[in-house]
Structure 1
Amino acid sequence: MNAGFLPVRQLVLVDLLSMMLATRVGERAIIAVDGPDGVGKTRLVGELVALAPHVAGRQVHAVSVDGFHRPREQRYARGRTGETYYEDAFDYDALREHVLRPFRAGGAVVPEVWDLEADRPAPAQPVTLADDALLLVEGVFLRRPELRGEWDATCVLMAPAEVTVPRGNARFPGRRVEGDDDPASPANARYVEAHRLYRLQARTWQPTWIVDNTDLQRPELIVPDPDEPQWFER
């Protein structure tokens, strides 16, 4: 890590990682990195993993919930609505079986069980982690009610839909349709509605940290006041 001037983003990441590394020191810990599609979770988590060897002597590993999608037939069996995306997209039992429970028990984790693009099982590739490893689980909907108790801490990335929708769609240039940068476009209805439903269910679960990731070069790190019932949300 360059010892000279550090860009704002890197300074924020170092601060965030330092706080994450203080979670359950000396034993394994799991932190959820939550946020809507297109907010920048995968990039941020990748940067934290890359920074970890320079910040502290604790292993940091990442798993994406994208590796625990249900098969396409199951995801779309009840249609392509916001409700079905929120309720049917991910297999949380598989996430518990292959990642959360073995990690808590001191075993290896299998970071992916379903190949989303190929729509078929992914080869099992167990990863052995240190006894005091920090596991970052990134994805959407991670503060949903049925996942309470799974995380030692939570980090929420946020940005307005006017930012996240075009940012997310830009990842799939071959799937673009006219007007899909507009959150109100019918092309985005499934995802926008799913996140609206999710926010209603997660609104009482205050995260440990919030990152306003609207400006990728100048993110803002927010530590909510635990005594304040209302916390930052766009």
Structure 2
Amino acid sequence: MRVRPISPPLLVEELADRIAALSGTSWVRVVIDGAPPTRPENLADALVDPLRLRGRDVLRVAAGDFLRPASLRFEYGREDPDAFYTDWLDEGGLVREVLGPLEPGGSGRVLPALWDSAVDRATRASYVTLAPGGVLLLDGALLLGRGLPLDHAVHLSMSSAALARRVEPDQKWTLPAYERYEDEARPALTADVVVRVDDPRHPALVERS
């Protein structure tokens, strides 16, 4: 294993090259996975234009728009790390509305947002159609190891010490969930690409032999 420092702009270009090289007549479902302090949404957003310049239609979706209703998320309290890990994400809705339609032979018709957790009600998002050969960029946390149908996974890795320093104070209660994720899902081993971001200004690609 080799850890190669890389600048944020070069990281985006290298990832765009890798994703664009995943050719085929069907869609490419890419997840950018990382705890909130790693800012997976920023990397996903940064990949949109480079992929379009490489001739790919792109659709951005946030896993945070596919959470379950509050009555289910908070069944065991608002700060239960085990429930946060296993019960908050509406996996069925994400597969049904986003990942499933982008299976080979699917319709390509995707609902980009399902649930507005801020007001705890369904969104009014409209369905969109991703052109064949297009790329879905899905960002979120704790997404690997769930059996979600994905074609390419990028994991933003942060040490437990760095995560504890950088997580928002009111989110400290989630730290045991991320420890469990590392132990059970082992994202640094299962992802196609691992980027270390203990200091997000100075990322490093982990290259496995």
- 1:71 and 1:166 mapped to 2: Cα distance? 30
Q: 1:194 aligns with which of 177, 196, 204?
A: 177
Look up the match of 1:31: 30
Q: Which runs of 4+ in 1 moved over 4 A?
A: 165-168
Number of residue-to-residue matches in the alignment? 200
- 2:198 and 2:100 mapped to 1: Cα distance? 34
- 1:73 and 1:190 mapped to 2: Cα distance? 19
Q: Higher strand share goes to which structure? A: 2
Larger Rg: 1
Q: Structure 2: 5+ residue runs without aligned partners? A: 1-5
- Which string of whole-angstrom CA distances, capped at 9 and with x for unpartnered residues, describes residues 115-152 of structure 1? 011111101311111100011211111112433xx111
1:77 and 2:75 equivalent? yes
Q: Is the partner of 1:117 in helix, strand or coil?
A: coil
CA-based RMSD:
2.0
Tell me the amino acid that sits aligned with residue 142 of structure 1.
Answer: L
Q: What are the residue-to-residue correspondences of 1:34-113 with 2, within 5 Å?
A: 34-54=33-53, 56-79=54-77, 80-104=79-103, 105-113=106-114
Cα shift at 1:34: 1.0
Q: Percent of pairs identical after alignment?
A: 26
Tell me the amino acid that sits aligned with residue 63 of structure 2.
Answer: V
- 1:201 and 1:77 mapped to 2: Cα distance? 23
Q: Is the partner of 1:125 in helix, strand or coil?
A: coil
- 1:223 and 1:23 mapped to 2: Cα distance? 18
- Which string of whole-angstrom CA distances, capped at 9 and with x for unpartnered residues, describes residues 180-202 of structure 1? 3xxxxxx5443101111111221
- Give the direction of change, closer, same or farther, for the CA distance of 1:220–1:162 in structure 2 (3 Å limit): same
Cα shift at 1:217: 2.9
Give TM-score scaled by structure 2 length. 0.87
Contact 2:108 2:131 in 1 (8 A): no
Look up the match of 2:196: 212
If asked which structure has higher relative contact order (CA below 8 Å, sep 6+), I would say 2
Contact 1:29 1:133 in 2 (8 A): yes
